[in-house]
Homo-oligomer: A and B are copies of this chain.
């Protein structure tokens, strides 16, 4: 079987011709994606595949564990992608997408493997809250169930982290941004979505409305203060 990198001409020669109009338009008009998706680097979870997205549809940030570090002074690639998507591209939806059998989430139960990967160990600190929740609030889970629970709680944690970013907090306060927490099940092709109302993940079904983590709605904590003051 040919090596994947040897197929670099296959696309241009056999696929591009039928999509050249789209690509040329995207090249001349620039991109205008509808959503930012933050997902795992895992080779089995292809964001454009599971959303059946076309080129130009999704701004995509991928890293080990679909992690979003909280806003801070030393932020890096994920924070930049979030800021660029919200401020420069004006996306109206952000999806944090976890998945089953995630190597990053399973690493919490394998400290020995992490010793050889100090960068990964440091990076997983941003998912430590999920691990900590599972350790202290769930009971009686075997290793596999614990990994799944960690992956699900990790989506919740990363949604919290997203909200600490000024660009996200501002767009949310203006009611212009919806946050989604997804979980892709490799073995079934199912997507579970976090329902912010109940705090639980539910399977996405056709026809039913898509559950969201935080719906778009203006949020002004001090609004009353000034209405009162104005009267």
- Give the residue of B12, B71, B88, B193 whose beta carbon is less than 8 angstroms from that of A188: B12
Knowing A12-B189, A33-B43, A220-B137, the reply to whether A81 touches B63 (Cβ < 8 A) is yes
Complex CA distance for A82 and B120, rounded to whole angstroms: 9
For A43, list chain B residues within 8 Å (CB).
Answer: 31, 33, 55-60
A104-118 Cβ-contact flags toward B at 8 Å (1 or 0): 100000000100111
Complex CA distance for A169 and B131, rounded to whole angstroms: 10
Knowing A59-B41, A60-B62, the reply to whether A23 touches B187 (Cβ < 8 A) is yes
Q: Judging by beta carbons under 8 Å apart, are B138 and A51 in contact?
A: no
Q: Judging by beta carbons under 8 Å apart, are A23 and B63 in contact?
A: no
For A165, list chain B residues within 8 Å (CB).
Answer: 119, 129
Size of interface on A: residues with Cβ below 8 Å to B: 142
Chain A residues in the interface with B (C-beta under 8 A): 3-13, 15-16, 20, 23-24, 26-28, 30-31, 33-36, 41-46, 48-53, 55-65, 67, 69-85, 87-88, 93, 95, 100-101, 103-104, 113, 116-120, 122-126, 128-133, 135-138, 141, 145, 148-149, 152-153, 155-157, 160-161, 163-167, 169-170, 173-174, 180, 182, 186-191, 193-194, 199-201, 204-206, 210, 218-226, 229
A-B contact pairs, 23 of them (CB 8 A): A3-B34, A3-B93, A8-B182, A8-B193, A12-B189, A27-B186, A41-B85, A43-B59, A46-B48, A61-B63, A63-B81, A65-B80, A71-B129, A76-B78, A77-B123, A83-B118, A87-B117, A132-B169, A133-B169, A136-B173, A137-B173, A152-B222, A200-B224
